[in-house]
Amino acid sequence: MSDCPYALPVDIDRSFRGQRIISAHIKTVAFSFLDCRNQAHNTAVENKLNILFILNSMYWGGIGRIMSDVSCRLPENVHQTFVLLENKIAYPHRGRLFILQRSQSKHLSGRALQLLRTVMKFRRIIKEVKPDVVMSFHHDARIVNLLAKASLPTVRYKTIMADLGLASHYRKFLGRARKHIYRLFVSLTIKQAHRMIAIAEGVKADIIAGFGVDQRKIDVIYGSVDPEQARQMALESIEHPWFSDTVPLIALSGRLVFEKNQADLLKAFALVRKTIFCRLVLIGDGLERNSLTRLAQDLGVAADVLFTGFQSNPHKYVARSSVFAFPSLFEAQGLVMVEAMAVGCPVVAYDCPVGPREMLAPGTSKPDGKWEIEEARYGILVPPENVEALAKAILKLLNDSQLRERYSRIGKERATHFNADGMAQKYLNTIMTVVRELA
């Protein structure tokens, strides 16, 4: 197991009462995701740089993995501070760590009071840390930074807004009032940001179309994967009997939430099961787990669906699967598809906005007219929310060993394009661009 450094959380309510803040490292017990010790990038930064990252958490999801990769690869003379709204950490990182530990209130007045308290805590951190640059992730964290900076007119730092989602598509699932509030805050945080990072070209286009941002202000930096590390982690043993059996496995990793649309995969799996005996492995956890469990029971496939819960190492499950099926309603990049390709698992995906096509068929457009299955360069695409087409594509791969082998081989090649060192260097370039503007 790797000795992954974690910054020891600081108690915000105690740390500013005349006490010195002490940073420390502890060994991780539950995770062995990445060894930070030897990952620092060789690129030198001329002077000491003080950067603060604020995000909801570093738990399950692409943002946590991306920030871990970036943090562990930044040069040693980049001083890092992490501020999390929630005490949820699953990935290693360098630097000091503050947990704001917000509580969730069901009432509007309670939420407003909690937001005020969180902003006040963050103000105190800003005054203590004195960052040169603040990089914000997640909508809630961006609002906290927005309000704190607005209330500190004499504190001089620049903001980088990392937009790793699709604001225009997320708004569709909000109520009318929340939709307008969401747009207002996104507009204000964009206006405040000195520079933006988009995780895909489609995300950049979405920001420009939805909010009129100058394209020169946005850098596209894809999320990364370390293929060699993923393949090493895939070798870890699994005690569950399914993974030593010959029955084909269909896998999907990710949060169990509405937009990931695991419900369609369960329905497609039920159709596939009518032709081929196979099993489905859902790696992850989330708000939709109970409803998905009930759906599996209603479809009569519950005995052959495995809900693994959160796994710090999803690679060992995916690598032993025949197909990785990706049914999201919308997806900025879909980093889990790249991870699946890295361990040689062929990918079938809904051609939803915007990530799947960028990952599996870069530089192409959707087919004209009615279509069902597109054998793209790096995987198979099917029309969004078309359960029958998804089932047919899964069957196509299960029935064609040569096609699986081809996609397994070229998928591994594709994954090498999303190099963690290259991603960290691009983040550093964006940071240095903002720092030079600050000088």
Per-residue pLDDT of 40-68, as tens digits, reads 554 545 568 999 999 998 876 778 888 99
What's the CA gap between 167 and 171, in Å, rounded? 6
Whether the per-residue pLDDT at 307 is higher than 80: the answer is yes
Pairing of strands 96-99, 374-375: unpaired
Domain boundaries 6-224+419-438, corresponding CATH code: 3.40.50.2000
Is the CA virtual torsion 43, 231, 330, 60 positive or negative? negative
Whether the per-residue pLDDT at 291 is higher than 50: the answer is yes
Helix (H) or strand (E) holding 218, with range, is strand 218-220
What is residue 412's predicted lDDT score, i.e. its pLDDT?
A: 97
CB-CB contact of 21 with 96 (8 Å): yes
C-alpha dihedral (191, 193, 199, 200), degrees to nearest 10: 40
Most confident of 167-176, 263-272, 327-336: 263-272
What is residue 10's predicted lDDT score, i.e. its pLDDT?
A: 46
| 113-169 pLDDT tens trace | 888 999 999 999 999 999 999 999 888 899 999 999 999 988 889 999 987 677 676
Residue with the bigger pLDDT between 213 and 344: it is 344
Exposed / middle / buried, residue 146 (Cβ in 10 Å: 0-12, 13-18, 19+): buried
The tally of CA atoms less than 13 A away on the side-chain side of residue 183 is: 14
CA distances from 224 to 88, 346, 356, 394, 424 (A): 21, 18, 15, 26, 9
| 329-365 pLDDT tens trace | 999 999 999 999 999 999 999 999 999 999 999 999 9
What is residue 438's predicted lDDT score, i.e. its pLDDT?
A: 66
pLDDT-derived band of residue 173, with 50, 70 and 90 as boundaries? low
How would DSSP label each residue in 272-335? HTTTS--EEEEEB--TTHHHHHHHHHHTT-GGGEEEEE--S--HHHHTT-SEEEE--S-BSS-H
What is residue 392's predicted lDDT score, i.e. its pLDDT?
A: 98
Segment 371-389 shows an average pLDDT of 97
230: its two tokens? 């993923």
What's the CA gap between 7 and 9, in Å, rounded? 6
Residue with the bigger pLDDT between 183 and 202: it is 202
pLDDT-derived band of residue 4, with 50, 70 and 90 as boundaries? very low
What is residue 139's predicted lDDT score, i.e. its pLDDT?
A: 84
216: its two tokens? 């020169």
| Residue count of the chain | 439
Tokens 């286009």 identify what position?
A: 205
User: Which percentage of the chain shows pLDDT scores above 70?
Assistant: 85
Mean pLDDT is lowest, of 184-198, 286-300, 338-352, 409-423, for: 184-198
Whether the per-residue pLDDT at 30 is higher than 50: the answer is no
Decide: helix, strand or coil at residue 208.
helix
Phi, psi dihedral angles at 149 (to 5 degrees): -65, -40
What's the CA gap between 224 and 42, in Å, rounded? 18
- Which of 418, 431, 432, 434 shows the shortest CA–CA distance to 65? 418
Whether the per-residue pLDDT at 11 is higher than 50: the answer is no
What's the CA gap between 396 and 189, in Å, rounded? 45
Helix (H) or strand (E) holding 76, with range, is none
What is residue 390's predicted lDDT score, i.e. its pLDDT?
A: 98
CB-CB contact of 335 with 223 (8 Å): yes
pLDDT-derived band of residue 101, with 50, 70 and 90 as boundaries? confident
What is residue 8's predicted lDDT score, i.e. its pLDDT?
A: 44
What is residue 135's predicted lDDT score, i.e. its pLDDT?
A: 95
CB-CB contact of 33 with 71 (8 Å): no
User: Which percentage of the chain shows pLDDT scores above 90?
Assistant: 65
Do the domains spanning 6-224+419-438 and 227-415 agree at the CATH topology level? yes
Helix axes 262-272 and 289-298, enclosed angle (nearest 10): 20
- Which of 221, 222, 251, 210 shows the shortest CA–CA distance to 234? 251
Pairing of strands 25-26, 6-7: antiparallel
159: its two tokens? 């903001």
Other Cβ atoms closer than 10 A to 46? 8
How would DSSP label each residue in 102-128? PPP-SSHHHHHHHHHHHHHHHHHHHHH
Segment 221-233 shows an average pLDDT of 93
What is residue 103's predicted lDDT score, i.e. its pLDDT?
A: 65
Phi, psi dihedral angles at 341 (to 5 degrees): -60, -35
Segment 292-306 shows an average pLDDT of 98
What is residue 29's predicted lDDT score, i.e. its pLDDT?
A: 27
C-alpha dihedral (424, 54, 438, 214), degrees to nearest 10: 80
Tokens 């109520």 identify what position?
A: 175
The one-letter amino acid code at 248 reads: P
Whether the per-residue pLDDT at 18 is higher than 50: the answer is no
Q: Tell me, what DSSP letter sits at residue 354? A: B
What is residue 187's predicted lDDT score, i.e. its pLDDT?
A: 87
**Domain spans of the chain?**
6-224+419-438, 227-415
Phi, psi dihedral angles at 195 (to 5 degrees): -155, 155
What is residue 158's predicted lDDT score, i.e. its pLDDT?
A: 93
CATH entry 3.40.50.2000 includes domain 227-415: yes
